[in-house]
Structure 1
Amino acid sequence: MGNIQNWLKIFTGIILLGIILPAGVYAETEESVAVSKHAERETSIELYDVEKRMKRFAFDSGFHFEYPDAVRGIYVTGNSAGGSKFEDLLNLVETTDLNAMVIDIKEDHGNLTFKPDEDSPYADIAENYISDPEAMMKVLEENEIYPIARIVVFKDSVLAKERPDLSFTENGKVWVNNRGEAFVNPFEKEVWEYNVEIAKLAVELGFQEIQFDYVRFPEGFEKKDESLSYTHGDYEDLDMNNIKKRVEAVTDFVAYAREELSTYGVDVSVDIFGYAATLEETPGIGQNFSRISDNVDIISSMIYPSHWTSYFDIEKPDTEPYRLVTEYAKVENEVLGALDSPPVSRPWLQDFEAPWLYSGPAKQYGKAEVEAQIRALYENGIDEFLLWNASNVYTENVDYLIGKE
Structure 2
Amino acid sequence: MRKPILYSIGVPIVLLSILNINIGMPDIDFWGEKGTEKHEIGSVIKSELSSTGTTNEKEKIIVTEVVVEPEIIPEPIKKPIHIKTPDAVKSVYVTAPSANSEKKLNTLLNLVKTKEVNSVTIDVKTVSGYVSFEMPNDKFGNIKPTSNNQIKDIKKLIETLHENNVYIIGRVVLFKDKLLAEKRSDLAIKWTDQKTVWYDYKGKKYLDPYSKEVWDYNAEIANHIYELGFDEINFDYVRFPSDGRVSQTYYPFSGTIQAQNGKWGKIMVLDKFSNYFTTKLREESPGIVLSADVFGLVTNTDLFQIGQNLESFLLYFDYVGPMVYASHYGKGYLGFTAPDNHPYEVIKDALKHTNDRIDLLNTEIELAKTENRKVKIKGIFDAEKDLEALKPIKKTKIRAWLQGFSCTRCKGYVPYTRTKFRQQIKAIEDSGLNSWWVWNSRSNYYFDWYDKETIPQKIIPKEEISLCTMEYSPVCGKVEVQCIKAPCDPIKQTFSNTCVAKNAKAIGIVEGACEENTEK
Same fold (TM over 0.5): yes
- SS of alignment partner, residue 231 of structure 1: coil
Alpha carbons of 1:288 and 1:378: their partners in 2 closer, same or farther (altered >3 Å)?
same
TM-score (norm 2): 0.62
Deviations 1:180-220 (A, max 9, x none): 21111102111111111111111111112111100000005
Q: Which residue of the partner structure matches residue 409 of structure 2?
A: 356
Against the structure 1 CA distance between its residues 296 and 253, is the aligned structure 2 distance closer, same or farther, given a 3 Å change threshold?
A: same
Q: Confirm or deny that 1:379 pairs with 2:430.
A: yes
Separation (CA, whole Å) in 1 of partners of 2:210 and 2:425:
37
SS in 2 for 1:355: coil
Distance 1:176 1:114, change over 3 A: same
Matches within 5 A, 1:85-96: 85-96=104-115
Pairing of 1:229-378 with structure 2 (within 5 A)? 229-233=250-254, 236=256, 240-263=260-283, 264=285, 265-279=287-301, 281-309=302-330, 310-340=332-362, 341-343=392-394, 344-358=397-411, 362-378=413-429
Q: 1:184 to 1:277 in 2, by over 3 A?
A: same
Shift of 1:339: 2.6
Aligned pairs (5 A) from 1:38-49? none
Instruction: Find the partner of 1:191 among 214, 223, 246.
Output: 214
In the alignment, the residues of structure 1 paired with residue 315 and residue 82 of structure 2 have an alpha-carbon distance, to the nearest angstrom, of 28
8 Å contact 1:115–1:123 — kept in the other structure? Answer: no
1:374-395 CA-partner distances (Å, limit 9, x unpaired): 0111011011001000000012
CA apart distance, 1:62: 2.9
User: What do residues 61-102 of structure 1 show as CA deviations (whole Å, max 9, x unaligned)?
Assistant: 432313223100100111111123222112112210110111
Residues 1:368 and 1:237: Cα distance change in structure 2 (over 3 Å): closer
Residues 63-74 of structure 1: matches in 2 within 5 Å? Answer: 63-74=81-92
Structure number with higher relative contact order (C-alpha < 8 Å, ≥ 6 residues apart): 1
Pick the structure with more helix per residue: 1
Deviation at 1:313, TM superposition (A): 2.6
1:69 maps to amino acid: D
Note the alpha carbon deviations across 1:8-59, whole angstroms, 9 max, x for none. Answer: xxxxxxxxxxxxxxxxxxxxxxxxxxxxxxxxxxxxxxxxxxxxxxxxxx98
**CA distance, structure 1, for counterparts of residue 326 and residue 77 of structure 2:** 41
Structure 2 residue runs of 5 or longer lacking an equivalent are 1-75, 363-391, 457-520
Q: Counterpart in 1 of 2:37?
A: none
Identical pairs, percent: 32
> Separation in 2 of the partners of 1:252 and 1:141?
35
CA, structure 1 residues 323+111, in 2 after alignment: closer, same or farther (shift >3 Å)? same
Note if contact 2:185-2:197 (Cα within 8 Å) is conserved in structure 1: yes
Instruction: State yes or no: 1:111 paired with 2:134.
Output: no
Deviation at 1:239, TM superposition (A): 7.6
> Over aligned residue pairs, what C-alpha RMSD do you find?
2.4
What amino acid does structure 2 have at the position aligned with 1:261? L
Structure number, greater radius of gyration: 2
With over 3 angstroms needed to count, the CA separation of the structure-2 counterparts of 1:237 and 1:369, relative to structure 1, is closer
Measure the CA separation in 1 of the matches of 2:160 and 2:340: 36
CA contact (8 A) 1:325 1:373 kept: yes
SS at match of 2:361: coil
The amino acid across from 1:256 in the alignment is Y
Which amino acid in the other structure matches residue 231 of structure 2?
Q
Which residue, 188, 206, 224 being the options, matches 1:167?
188
Which AA in structure 1 matches 2:304?
P
By how many angstroms is 1:179 displaced?
Answer: 1.6
Q: Contact 1:108–1:152 (CA<8 Å) still a contact in 2? A: yes
Would you say the 8 A contact 1:93–1:99 is kept in 2?
yes
Change (3 A) 1:59 1:214: farther
Counterpart CA distance in 2 for 1:282 and 1:110 is 25
Aligned length: 341
CA offset digits 1:101-136 (Å, max 9, x no partner): 111111121111110125555665112111111101
What amino acid does structure 2 have at the position aligned with 1:266? I
Contact (CA 8 Å) 1:216, 1:250: kept in 2 or not? yes
Q: CA deviation at 1:232?
A: 3.0
Equivalent pair of 1:65/1:208 in contact (CA under 8 Å): yes
Q: Distance in 1 between matches of 2:453 and 2:417?
A: 14
Aligned residue among 190, 214, 233 for 2:237? 214
Q: Which residue of the partner structure matches residue 38 of structure 1?
A: none
Report the Cα distance in structure 2 between the residues aligned to 1:175 and 1:151, rounded to whole angstroms.
22
Change (3 A) 1:216 1:59: farther
Residue-by-residue CA offset, 1:258-306 (whole Å, 9 max, x unaligned): 1112132111111000101211x21210011111111111011000000
1:114-193 to 2 correspondences below 5 Å:
114-117=133-136, 119=138, 121=140, 125-170=146-191, 171=193, 172-193=195-216
Query: 2:216 is aligned with what amino acid?
Result: E
Q: Which runs of 4+ in 1 moved over 4 A?
A: 118-124, 400-403
User: Matches of 2:431 and 2:453 in 1, distance apart?
Assistant: 13
Structure-2 separation of matches of 1:238 and 1:245:
4
TM-score, length basis structure 1: 0.79
Rounded to whole Å, the distance in 1 between the matches of 2:228 and 2:166 is 15
Contact kept, 8 Å, 2:133 with 2:148, in 1: the verdict is yes
User: 1:123/1:400 Cα in 2 relative to 1: closer, same or farther (>3 Å)?
Assistant: farther
User: Could you tell me whether the CA contact under 8 Å between 1:375 and 1:402 is conserved in 2?
Assistant: no
Secondary structure (helix, strand or coil) at the match of 1:69 reads coil
